[in-house]
Structure 1
């Protein structure tokens, strides 16, 4: 046991700068608050937030365009009400067609 400890201590003493450098890289790279892994996580989070910003800016532009159209043309309110909220006049019928597929029921059990 003592000979193994002596060999390890001799290795550390001989390569002390290498050992200290490796230890510092491990601490800074993985354990520290500002580690490389944390930096990668923050970069991914920034990327996701930027895509959210782009999405919301596009939505804002679309909504602003629609609002300008409503102010300019009163018939646009009727169009939006029909398309978005399925409102209708008294003498009309509305049919909503959907492309959604119904899920297949693979359960072969019968309920009693």
Structure 2
């Protein structure tokens, strides 16, 4: 009966002294920290993938908007409207007055 309690006391020592446990611990540490495909590298790569997917979504939306603008610009009246608004073009008999507000312009340093 006395041997049973002592074996229960030393189960941890037997567990830690087992070579398979050490190999398993070494393998886990290697895979988490040191390997080229480690867990931490995957976290960084996953963040980059998420960022790139967000950029992809943004640029796809911009492409869709530009395609709509191109469709509109096939009409000559829309081309004239775009040129007047964007490039301040005018007809010969017109004058253009550009009104700038304080918060609209970029200050030159």
TM-score, length basis structure 1: 0.67
- Cα deviation code 1:35-94 (max 9, x no counterpart): 1111111111111111111111101100000000010x2222233223333x14251211
What is the root-mean-square deviation in Å for CA atoms of aligned residues? 2.8
Cα distance in 2, alignment partners of residues 77 and 96 from structure 1: 24
Cα distance in 1, alignment partners of residues 57 and 102 from structure 2: 29
Structure 1's consecutive aligned runs of 4 or more residues displaced over 6 angstroms after TM superposition are 10-13
Which structure has the greater CA radius of gyration? Answer: 2
69, 80, 83: which is aligned to 2:82?
80
State whether structure 2 residue 41 is matched by structure 1 residue 38. yes
TM-score, length basis structure 2: 0.68
Number of aligned residue pairs: give it. Answer: 92
Q: Where does structure 2 lack aligned partners over 5 or more consecutive residues? A: 1-12
Q: Where does structure 1 lack aligned partners over 5 or more consecutive residues? A: 1-9, 104-112
